[in-house]
Amino acid sequence: MAFWPRSQAKSPAGIADIRARYDALFARFGAPPAAMDFTPGQLGPIPGEWVGPTDVSRLMLYFHGGGFVAGSPQTHRPLVGKLVEASGVGAFSVQYRLAPECFFPAAVRDGIDAYRALLAKGVPAGAIVLAGDEAGGGLAFGVALAVRNAGLTRGGDPSGLGVLLFLPPRHSLRKTTPSATYASPAYAPFNGFPPVMVHAGAHEVLRDDASKLGDRAAEARVSVSVEIYDGMGHLFQTDGTRNEAKVSLSRLAQFVRARSAL
């Protein structure tokens, strides 16, 4: 798909405040693993950052959180770095376009373009794992739907580190209905979907939506694992002192290794 030029549209009132609140949240992620390499790069027309091993025979395509209005590969280095460190599988953290400068479905198009670029590099579809946190988890599912619908094989394995959305997506959807399948994958048919793993804290704002997504996948007889961690809140995996965070990262890493192995 063609790359859309970034719009020069002005942000709506309040977007600066929303981004400032997200920046404060991201600052609490802590530091990335000291020995982890982060290298700017591109997949086709899509910018981003290579994290960890540069061997692209198996890879995570990672989508950062931030409500579709904030965040970047740089803000999520601690989270992506920990997942790469635990799994031993490298990642490309996608710098997809944000709202309100670019509206839905710009981020989904960026994701599928990055995925197509990996295929063009000769990366086997079965060695690619789609992963994301918060809004990026929803984007990973949206891209997986696009992969399935375009017949690009069963390569993408969405692995949400958080729930689908943290803030209402009004800044990104514009006039698109929130129940559109690529915007809210829980409304999509899951037939023929690849294996799925979703982790969420019991205190997540949209914990029930994570469970609903798992139910929909199970109804379609898709291999799915939804794990809800008691007492945990939003993106608890960033707190390396908690045993629950260590267990979650270990389980996610195991899934990534298993699903990216040929």
Structure tokens at 133: 């946190």
Residues 235 and 206: beta-carbon distance below 8 Å: no
230 occurs within a structural domain: yes
Q: Which helix (H) or strand (E) holds 169?
A: none
Strand partners, 200: 228
Q: Which of 188, 129, 190, 116 is nearest to 160 (CA)?
A: 129
Spatial neighbors of 239 by CB under 8 A, at least 6 apart, are 245
Structure tokens at 143: 């891209």
1 occurs within a structural domain: no
The residue type of 128 is I
Provide the residue range defining the domain that includes 50: 15-260
Q: Which of 150, 132, 149 is nearest to 141 (CA)?
A: 132
Q: Which residue in this structure is represented by tokens 């690009």?
A: 152
Task: Tell me whether strands 46-51 and 91-94 are parallel, antiparallel or unpaired.
Answer: antiparallel
4 occurs within a structural domain: no
5 occurs within a structural domain: no
Structure tokens at 82: 């920990």
Residues 128 and 59: beta-carbon distance below 8 Å: yes
Domain CATH for 38 = 3.40.50.1820
Q: Which of 106, 108, 128 is nearest to 6 (CA)?
A: 106
99 occurs within a structural domain: yes
6 occurs within a structural domain: no
Q: Could you give the number of structural domains in the chain?
A: 1
The CA-based angle 31-36-42, given to 5 degrees, is 105
37 occurs within a structural domain: yes
- pLDDT tens, per residue, the chain with 262 residues: 222 233 334 445 588 998 999 999 999 999 999 999 999 999 999 999 999 987 778 899 999 999 899 999 999 999 999 999 999 999 999 999 998 899 888 999 999 999 999 999 988 888 999 999 988 988 998 898 888 888 887 565 665 543 333 333 444 555 555 555 656 666 777 888 888 888 888 988 767 877 888 888 899 998 889 899 999 988 888 888 899 999 999 999 999 998 887 5
71 occurs within a structural domain: yes
Whole-model pTM: value is 0.85
Cis peptide preceding 100, ω within 30 of 0: yes
